[in-house]
């Protein structure tokens, strides 16, 4: 693996390795605090972000490395008309590894063709978000102790939600995972994922229109925000944005060990009253993201722990 553009760039064995490494980093931070000394990570964010960019930057700092970059297209030469390829080519002379987010699907893939330094896709339009997927897999593994034999419900904007698309692809490789897709019809999962993943691999899935009807079967409930910025029409957004809200009442029939996840940011799709429920895992999930990104940066740069 040289770049990480699509979650399927990683084999199941590579994912196992990253999760083991991330757990070790979390438990033995001292072994890792100098491993990326004199290395630089550039974060090129052409789209807003809080967790992804800051967790990447914190990850590199905790490995003893440095960070540089920009946090919006408006503060880069994109405003002057520079192409993504040119920007990345130039930055590859300043940094050892690049994490980039872009509103256009495929932009990190195109960038990766041009440079020798590793490129990490930190989200490309409605397409993929592989480091969120690593975060999600680490959360499921830590909370459930396994990535197989799981019924996962995904709720909200399944059409534009790139975290959903990436997680489905990654989870489709584990044994006996059942997918329950909960969304209004307008925001249902794109046909290409149903065909290329569920149907092609003969994976159990169903589509439903309410959370209540499936709540008791779920081991994981993955909530998502309506992706306002990818809507073409404001009226559709306003009509759908409150469609699927998780509250204490809906949780009454859920399993005692349900794990509630959300890539965040939350708007109002999970009532803040749910935050105190022991089943709410989303803030832990955001924290795991830093450790798994540390593991990824180390792996792509080919550095290992300091065992002394």
Q: Which residues bind ligand NCD (CB under 6 A)?
A: 51-52, 123, 129, 132, 162-163, 225, 263-265
Shortest distance, position 289 Cβ to ligand NCD, whole Å: 8
Taking the complex as a whole, the smallest distance from the CB of residue 282 to ligand NCD amounts, in Å, to 10
Identity of the residue, 118 or 263, whose beta carbon is nearer to ligand NCD in the bound complex: 263
Q: Which is nearer to ligand NCD, 108 or 123 (CB)?
A: 123
Instruction: Tell me whether residue 87 or residue 285 sits nearer to ligand NCD (CB atom).
Output: 285
At its nearest, how many Å lie between ligand NCD and the CB of residue 274? 17
User: Which candidate in 51, 228, 250, 279 is catalytic?
Assistant: 51
Per the CB < 8 A criterion, the answer to whether 129 and 105 are in contact is no
87 is catalytic: no
Instruction: Verify whether residue 129 is a known catalytic residue.
Output: yes
Determine which one of 40, 53, 102, 129 is catalytic.
129
Q: Which is nearer to ligand NCD, 65 or 263 (CB)?
A: 263
Q: Residue 89 Cβ, how far from ligand NCD at the closest point, in Å? A: 25
Q: Which long-range contacts (CB under 8 A, 24 or more apart) does 86-94 make?
A: 87/44, 88/44, 88/114, 88/115, 88/119, 89/114, 89/115, 91/42, 91/44, 92/116, 92/117, 94/40, 94/42, 94/68
**Do the beta carbons of residue 122 and residue 51 sit within 8 Å?**
no
Catalytic residue among 38, 80, 201, 256: 80
**Shortest Å distance, C-beta 263 to ligand NCD:** 4
**Residue tagged active-site, from 3, 39, 53, 101:** 101
Cβ density class 34-62: b for 16+ within 10 Å, e for less? ebbeebbbbbbbbbebebbbebbbebbeb
* CA angle centred on 207, ends 203 and 212, rounded to 5°: 120
Cis peptide leading into residue 210 (ω within 30°): no
DSSP single-letter state for residue 270: B
266 is catalytic: no
Closest CB to ligand NCD among residues 90, 267: 267
Mind telling me the catalytic residues?
51-52, 80, 101, 129
């Amino acid at each position: 693996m040289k770049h990480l553009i699509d979650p399927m760039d990683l084999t199941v064995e590579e994912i196992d390795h990253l999760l083991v490494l991330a757990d070790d980093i979390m438990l033995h931070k001292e072994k890792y605090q100098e491993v990326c000394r004199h290395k630089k990570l550039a974060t090129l964010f052409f789209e807003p972000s809080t967790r992804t960019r800051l967790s990447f930057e914190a990850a590199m700092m905790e490995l003893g490395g440095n960070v540089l970059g920009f946090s919006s297209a408006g503060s880069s030469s994109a405003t002057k008309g520079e192409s993504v390829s040119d920007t990345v080519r130039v930055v590859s002379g300043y940094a050892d590894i690049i994490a980039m987010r872009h509103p256009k699907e495929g932009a990190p893939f195109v960038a990766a063709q041009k440079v020798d330094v590793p490129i990490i896709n930190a989200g490309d339009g409605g397409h993929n978000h592989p480091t969120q997927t690593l975060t999600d897999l680490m959360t499921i593994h830590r909370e459930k102790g396994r990535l197989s034999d799981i019924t996962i419900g995904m709720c909200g904007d399944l059409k534009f939600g790139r975290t959903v698309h990436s997680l489905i692809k990654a989870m489709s490789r584990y044994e006996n995972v059942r997918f329950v897709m909960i969304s209004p019809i307008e925001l249902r999962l794109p046909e290409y994922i149903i065909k290329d993943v569920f149907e092609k691999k003969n994976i159990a899935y169903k589509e439903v229109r309410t959370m209540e009807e499936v709540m008791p079967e779920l081991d994981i409930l993955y909530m998502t925000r309506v992706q306002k910025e990818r809507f073409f029409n404001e009226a559709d957004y306003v009509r759908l944005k409150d469609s699927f809200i998780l509250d204490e009442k809906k949780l009454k029939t859920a399993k005692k060990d349900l794990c509630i996840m959300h890539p965040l940011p939350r708007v109002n799709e999970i009532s803040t009253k749910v935050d105190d429920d022991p089943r709410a895992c989303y803030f832990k999930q955001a924290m795991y993201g830093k450790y798994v990104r540390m593991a990824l940066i180390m792996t792509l740069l080919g550095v290992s722990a300091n065992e002394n």
